[in-house]
Amino acid sequence: EGEKELTGLSLKNVKTGEREHLPVSGLFIYVGFAPETAYLPGNLERDAQGFIVTDTEMRTNVPGIFAAGDIRSKLCRQVITAAGDGATAAQSAFVFLEQLDG
Ligand SMILES: Cc1cc2nc3c(=O)[nH]c(=O)nc-3n(C[C@H](O)[C@H](O)[C@H](O)COP(=O)(O)OP(=O)(O)OC[C@H]3O[C@@H](n4cnc5c(N)ncnc54)[C@H](O)[C@@H]3O)c2cc1C
């Protein structure tokens, strides 16, 4: 809430439906930490939170499927680690395709 600047939050308790006003002047949005992996094949191994399990080369348990970035089961989820994962996954995919060629 607020016109030119933030003055407060309108909170709703999703269990009771009760609403309350919380006066604040700053906000850090803490969203995006639940993995969206439902669209992926069911036989792709996930951890208890639903993140995709890979080895250090970004290979999953399904040959030819690689995972990189936040979707992956790991400790640190930041831009720099996602980019590194992506580079590794691309290299692993290249090696996988080369081996297919025989
Ligand atoms: C609030 C917040 C603050 C953060 N602050 C920082 C920070 O200060 N510094 C830092 O280093 N990191 C920060 N992070 C983490 C950083 O944003 C992530 O680690 C990084 O973006 C992961 O990159 P990614 O490519 O793995 O995933 P994402 O950036 O999430 O990209 C995944 C993309 O896939 C798309 N997608 C999803 N499902 C499908 C589908 N079915 N088909 C096609 N496309 C799909 C999404 O729309 C999205 O564009 C923050 C994250 C959040 C949520």
4 pLDDT band, cuts 50/70/90, is: very high
Report the percentage of the chain scoring pLDDT > 70: 99
Ligand 1 centre distance from Cα of residue 85 (Å): 13
Ligand 1 centre distance from Cα of residue 78 (Å): 8
Concatenated DSSP letters of the chain: --SSS--EEEEE-TTT--EEEEE-S--------S---TTS-TTS-B-TTSPBP--TT-B-SSTT-B--GGGB--S--SHHHHHHHHHHHHHHHHHHHHHHH-
State pTM to two decimals: 0.83
- The pLDDT assigned to 64 comes to 96
102 pLDDT band, cuts 50/70/90, is: low
Among candidate residues 84, 76, 62, 80, the one with its CA nearest the CA of residue 52: 62
Strand-pair partners of 20: 11
Ligand 1 pocket residues where CB is under 6 Å? 29, 31-32, 36, 39, 69-70, 77-80, 82
